[in-house]
Structure 1
Amino acid sequence: MTDLEEREIREYVTSQTPPESEDGVTLVQKVGCRRVAGRSHDLYDVWMSSGQRWWVITDMTNLYSQDDFKSLDQVFTYHLGLNTILHEQFNVQPDEEQIEHVSKPWRRYAGAVDAMAAAQEAEDFQAVGIRCREALLALVRENMNAEWVRVHEETPQVANFKAWFGIFANSLTANSKPRAYLKALAVNTWDLTVWLQHYVDASELDAEVVLGATQQLLRTFTLLRVRHDQPVEQRCPNCDSYQVVEESSELIERDAQFGTLLHDECVSCGWKSEQKFTQWPLEQLKRLIDYKTGAWSPPKKSMEELEVKDSDN
Structure 2
Amino acid sequence: MAEMTKLEERKIRDYVDSQTLPESGDEVTIVQKVGRRRVARENYDLYDVWMSSGQRWWVITNMTNFYPQDDFKGLDQAFTYHLGRNAVIREQFAVQPDEEQVETVGKPWRRYAGAVEALATAEEAEDFQAVGIRCRESLLALVRDNIEASWVRVHGEQPQVANAKAWFAIFANSLSANSKPRAYFKSLGERTWDLAVWLQHYVDASAIDAEIVLGATQEVLRTFALLQVDYSQPVEQRCPKCDSYQVVEESSKVIEKEGAFGTLLHDECTSCGWRSEQSFDEWPRERLQRLIDYKTGAWSPPRKSMEDLEVRDADEASS
> Per-residue CA shift, 1:57-104, capped at 9, x if unaligned?
000100001011111111111111111111111111111111100000
Alignment partner of 1:238 out of 241, 246, 249 = 241
SS at match of 1:31: strand
C-alpha displacement of 1:290: 3.9
Partner of residue 248, structure 1: 251
Counterpart of 1:205, as a letter, is I
SS at match of 2:70: coil
1:134 equivalent in alignment to 2:130? no
1:121 equivalent in alignment to 2:124? yes
Partner of residue 46, structure 1: 49
Question: Aligned partners of 1:162 and 1:276: how far apart in 2?
Answer: 49
Equivalent residues in 2 for 1:150-189, closer than 5 Å: 150-189=153-192
SS at match of 2:30: strand
Structure 1, gaps ≥5 residues long:
298-313
Counterpart of 1:150, as a letter, is R
Partner of residue 307, structure 1: none
SS at match of 1:186: helix
Equivalent residues in 2 for 1:1-313, closer than 5 Å: 1-293=4-296, 294=301
C-alpha displacement of 1:280: 2.1
TM score, norm. by length of structure 1 = 0.92
> Per-residue CA shift, 1:122-154, capped at 9, x if unaligned?
010000000000000000011111111111211
Question: Aligned partners of 1:253 and 1:143: how far apart in 2?
Answer: 47
| Alpha carbons of structure 1 residues 127 and 20: separation in structure 2 relative to 1, 3 Å | same
Question: Aligned partners of 2:123 and 2:26: how far apart in 1?
Answer: 55
Moved more, 250-259 or 49-58: 250-259
State the identity %.
74
Q: Matched residue pairs, number? A: 297
C-alpha displacement of 1:255: 2.4
C-alpha displacement of 1:257: 2.6
C-alpha contact (below 8 Å) 1:287/1:296 kept by paired residues: no
Counterpart of 1:143, as a letter, is N
Moved more, 284-293 or 19-28: 284-293
TM score, norm. by length of structure 2 = 0.90
Question: Aligned partners of 1:74 and 1:290: how far apart in 2?
Answer: 44
Structure 2, gaps ≥5 residues long:
305-319
Partner of residue 305, structure 1: none
Question: Aligned partners of 2:303 and 2:91: how far apart in 1?
Answer: 42
Q: Over aligned residues, Cα RMSD in angstroms?
A: 1.3
C-alpha displacement of 1:21: 1.6
Question: Aligned partners of 1:105 and 1:10: how far apart in 2?
Answer: 40
SS at match of 1:265: strand
Question: Aligned partners of 1:85 and 1:278: how far apart in 2?
Answer: 41
C-alpha contact (below 8 Å) 1:261/1:278 kept by paired residues: yes
